[in-house]
Structure formats: C-alpha cells, structure tokens
Amino acid sequence: MDVDLRKIRYFVALAEELHFGRAAERLHIAQPVLSRQIRALEDELKVQLLVRTKRATELTAAGRQLLDDARPLLASAEAARRRVVQASRGTRTFTIGFMPGITVTAAVRAFTARHPELTIELLRTSWHDQVEVLRDGRADVSIVRLPIDQQGLTIRPLFDEPRVAMLPADHRLAGKPSIRIGDLADEHLLQDPDAVPEWRDIAVELREGTAGRVPTFQSVEEKLEHVAARNGISVLPLSTASFYTRPDVVPVPIEDIGPNHVCLAWSSTRRSKVIHDFADLALDVVNGEQAAPT
C-alpha cells in the first residue's frame, strides 16, 4: 500500500489539535474535507485512528502509533524535498546547527578551507528544535546538548562542560562559591525539567503540582529576563552563561550535578563523506583547543 503523505499530514494536525475545526483551520481546508481525508486514511489502513464523540476527539491505540511514526516520516520527506530543491538550483549548501553558547568559528574555517566549493550556512537552534532541524533537513549536522531523542541519529561526542545555576543578583544563594542541587528544591525552573533531571528529582513544585504558575521558556534571553525579574531560576552550561553575561543575573556553580554533554549529530540515513569530514574536523578542533596551554 502506498502512503499518501497529504493524508498523513492531515492526520498529524488533527492528532495534535484533537479538534476537527482547529485542525482544518490550521491546514487551511474546510472541515468536511478533513473529515473525508481522515476516513479515507482509515479505510486504506483498515484501522480506526480516532474516536469522535460529542464532547471530544481521542486517538485510538492505532492512532497513537501512527502519530509516533508519522512525525519522522513527514520530517524525512521534508528533508528530501529541501535537498532536491537545492540540487535543482545547482547550489551545494552545507548547514551547521549550533546551540547557544557554542562557538563554531574554528571548525567552520577549517571546513571551508577543505571544501571551498560549498556554501556554509549556520543555524542557531534551541533546546526544542536542535534535533528537529536534522529530521526536517534544515541542517546537515547540528552541535547538540544532551539529553536528546537519539532515534535515527548518529551521535559523536565532542566535549563536556559544567553547568551553573543562573540566579537574580540579590538571590539568597548568589554570593556563594558553589551550591548543591538540593538548595534549589524550592525554586521554579524556567526551562523544560527534562533538561535538568537532577532538579526534577527533588523539585517541590513538581511534587505539589504547582509547576505551571510561570511558563517555561525556549530562548536563553527569555530565561534570563525572567531570572532577573525573580520569576524563577535556570540551569545553563557554563559556556552559555559566560556568553550571556548581565549585571542583574549571577551564575553559581552546582557541585552535585553532572556536566552538559556536547555532541555532533546528524541523520543516520545520511552517508555523505562531507558530513564525516566535518565531524572529523570538529573533533580535531576540540582536541586542539583542549590541548592548548591556558
């Protein structure tokens, strides 16, 4: 059976919205059209994907499985489309994603010298899209910060670095040479708790179910603005904290949490020699910087 990507795309929108009207509006189609396409998809797959009642629309077990499989499928199709468009234009572009606080200049210069025929583009990513830019083809490689969903990716470790707590300058812990993660148990974390599992284990607000009183934020700039406003705290890699310095926010080392692991990642389906060339150069640059005298 051939899979119709348009129907899959419609299904994903509906599965994420769980509301036919909102999904149709998001897709810029009429609601009856969406309903017909979903029924046609169910007929093709010979399964029921959704249960629709007067009160709610819910995914069946088959629907949940299709949603898990559909997202990488659509991302892979989009990545192929991007590469085909590039090839049709006669351009050879190599895009490198990187997280805040990470400097890629030395690796890019070395790579450009080795591959002058390529146009190098840089793409700043965030905690929430550092993997998605690889899955949908926006980046050929990406320098990521673990933990990430590594399914379908090749991962090459680059280096580790300590993490620090970002606190308001007048915070009770701001003047300490170091703290322990338990000292932050009563604080609100202004980022995805999965990024700091050590805090998740001891957080009072997660035990009491009050974590939603202030939302989490994606960009470093947003997090630091809210830290300065005393809306919460953030835990950042040292390089990120050093890059985004400001007088009203203070970094404090945390003694008892592990380092942030920085890695190079790319799609496991990519067999390009150019990708491996960049990976080797990036590791050479890191090793050279670590061996250099301070």
CATH classification at residue 114: 3.40.190.10
Domain-located, residue 104 = yes
Residues 142 and 281 in one domain: yes
Domain-located, residue 87 = no
Question: What would the mean pLDDT of 8-23 be, rounded to a whole number?
Answer: 90
Q: Which CATH number does the domain housing residue 36 bear?
A: 1.10.10.10
Q: In the prediction, which pLDDT does 257 show?
A: 93
Distance, CA of 69 to chain centre:
18
Q: In the prediction, which pLDDT does 1 show?
A: 57
Q: How are strands ordered across the β-sheet holding 234-237? A: 234-237, 163-168, 249-253
Number of domains in the chain: 3
Query: Is it the case that residue 294 has pLDDT exceeding 70?
Result: no
Distance, CA of 25 to chain centre:
26
- Per-residue pLDDT band for 282 (boundaries 50, 70, 90) equals very high
Residues 157 and 272 in one domain: yes
Domain-located, residue 86 = no
Residues 266 and 123 in one domain: yes
Residues 248 and 184 in one domain: yes
Lowest mean pLDDT among 91-105, 124-138, 188-202, 278-292: 278-292
Query: Is it the case that residue 172 has pLDDT exceeding 80?
Result: yes
Residues 246 and 170 in one domain: yes
Q: Which of 195, 162, 173, 163 is nearest to 250 (CA)?
A: 173
Domain-located, residue 85 = no
**Residue that has been written with the tokens 């169910």 in this structure:** 42
Query: HEC profile for 230-279?
Result: CCCEEEEEHHHHHHCCCCCEEEEEECCCCCEEEEEEEECCCCCHHHHHHH
Lowest mean pLDDT among 38-52, 76-90, 142-156, 253-267: 76-90
Domain-located, residue 82 = no
Residues 52 and 111 in one domain: no
Query: Is it the case that residue 83 has pLDDT exceeding 80?
Result: no
Residues 210 and 246 in one domain: yes
Share the mean pLDDT of the chain: 88
**Residue that has been written with the tokens 């390089």 in this structure:** 239
Residues 109 and 218 in one domain: no
Going by their DSSP bridges, the two strands 50-52 and 249-253 should be labelled as unpaired
Domain residue limits at 279:
92-161+260-291
- Per-residue pLDDT band for 213 (boundaries 50, 70, 90) equals low
Residues 146 and 168 in one domain: no
Residues 107 and 51 in one domain: no
CA distance 55 to 130: 36
**Residue that has been written with the tokens 């989009």 in this structure:** 78
- Per-residue pLDDT band for 85 (boundaries 50, 70, 90) equals confident
Domain-located, residue 173 = yes
Residues 135 and 151 in one domain: yes
Q: In the prediction, which pLDDT does 262 show?
A: 95
Lowest mean pLDDT among 45-54, 78-87, 94-103: 78-87
State what percent of residues in the chain have pLDDT above 70. 93
Residues 208 and 273 in one domain: no
CA distance 84 to 179: 51
Q: Which residue has the higher pLDDT, 50 or 209?
A: 50
Query: Is it the case that residue 91 has pLDDT exceeding 60?
Result: no
Q: In the prediction, which pLDDT does 97 show?
A: 94
Q: In the prediction, which pLDDT does 80 show?
A: 75
Residues 6+ apart with CB under 8 A from 140: 94, 95, 96, 266, 270, 272, 274, 275, 278
CA distances (Å), origin 288, targets 99, 100, 111, 274, 281: 21, 21, 15, 21, 10
Question: What would the mean pLDDT of 120-148 be, rounded to a whole number?
Answer: 90
Question: What would the mean pLDDT of 39-48 be, rounded to a whole number?
Answer: 90
CA distance 4 to 54: 29
